[in-house]
Amino acid sequence: MTSPKQQCAEKALDYLKDGMVLGVGTGSTTEAFIALLEPWRNRLEAVVASSIATAEKLKALKMPLVELNEVGKIDLYVDGADEINDHLQMIKGGGAAMTREKILAAASQQFICIAEKSKHVDLLAKKAPVPVEVIPMARSFVAREIVKLGGQPEYRIGVKTDNGNAILDCYYLDCIDPLALEQTLSMIPGVVGNGVFAKRRADRWLHE
Ligand code: 5RP
């Protein structure tokens, strides 16, 4: 019997086309998708990874892995989410990869989110924290700015992003307007990226 994550991943295969440049996200649902990619090894033009962990998995399958700088655009980006709403806006970054994920999503023609039905929420960030990637020397400053916004930041101890930065998991931020929150967080000096995906939301959500 296939798990819900595998069922989501299988559905994304329908969107693959010969000669595509594929972007691949990070996390356990994406991992289930990667496990299905071997038959596509010689059919895709190139594959771009959103994290070192994903790159390692793709390398193990001998997929045609390239850096984003080597391709003009990504045709299709497939990634999971921690939360998703009716507008296909998301909270991401449970795996600390949201900054690179957001770059790949922005560079992609089409963004497919593969996430179980249980990830659906009416209001983003009510339960899940918003992960914020910060330059280490700015961590306390950014934390104080988050508090001013009404949030409660928690330092994700022992986690260093692929970019060498720290993560603050921010609870209780007002996310009634996800676009506004995404923008506000982006403007804090020292913030490298945040897990609100509103400006570049998913084009499609595939669930079990
Ligand atoms: C990683 C992410 C993941 O897509 C998100 O955390 C969902 O992970 P999973 O598929 O393991 O539930 O944003 O930064």
pTM of the model: 0.97
Taking only the tens place, the pLDDT of each residue in 27-51 is: 999 999 999 999 999 999 999 999 9
Kindly report the three-state secondary structure assignment for every residue of 61-107: CCCCEECHHHCCCEEEEEECCCEECCCCCEECCCCCCHHHHHHHHHC
Instruction: Tell me the three state secondary structure of residue 156.
Output: coil
Which atom in ligand 1 lies closest to the alpha carbon of residue 5? 10
The token pair that represents 132 in the structure block? 């914020």
Q: How sure is the predictor about 1, in pLDDT bands with cuts at 50, 70 and 90?
A: confident
Q: ∠ CA(154), CA(131), CA(56), 5° rounding?
A: 120
pLDDT greater than 90 at residue 203: yes
156 in contact with ligand 1, CB cutoff 6 A: no
Taking only the tens place, the pLDDT of each residue in 134-156 is: 999 999 999 999 999 999 999 99
Residue 158 belongs to domain spanning: 130-194
Which atom in ligand 1 lies closest to the alpha carbon of residue 25? 4
Whole-number pLDDT of residue 67: 97
Residues 107 and 142 in one domain: no
Give φ, ψ of 178 to 5 degrees: -60, -35
Q: Which residue in the block uniquely carries the two structure tokens 């992960």? A: 131
Give φ, ψ of 33 to 5 degrees: -70, -45
Which atom in ligand 1 lies closest to the alpha carbon of residue 131? 14
Instruction: Tell me the three state secondary structure of residue 20.
Output: coil
Residues 27 and 79 in one domain: yes
The CA 62 to ligand 1 mean position distance, Å, reads 23
Residues 114 and 177 in one domain: no
Taking only the tens place, the pLDDT of each residue in 59-108 is: 999 999 999 999 989 999 999 999 999 999 999 999 999 999 999 999 99
The CA 157 to ligand 1 mean position distance, Å, reads 18
CB 124 within 8 A of CB 24: no
Percent of the chain with pLDDT over 70: 100
Residues 9 and 100 in one domain: yes
101 is annotated as an active-site residue: yes
Helix intervals (H) in the chain: 4-12, 28-34, 52-60, 98-106, 139-148, 178-186
Residues 89 and 49 in one domain: yes
Residues 85 and 144 in one domain: no
Residue to probe by mutation, ligand 1, list 6, 29, 156, 169, most atoms within 8 Å of CB: 29
Residue to probe by mutation, ligand 1, list 5, 28, 31, most atoms within 8 Å of CB: 28
Residues 20 and 40 in one domain: yes
Residue to probe by mutation, ligand 1, list 24, 26, 77, 156, most atoms within 8 Å of CB: 26
Q: How far is CA 163 from CA 2, 24, 83, 119, in A?
A: 34, 17, 23, 27
153 in contact with ligand 1, CB cutoff 6 A: no
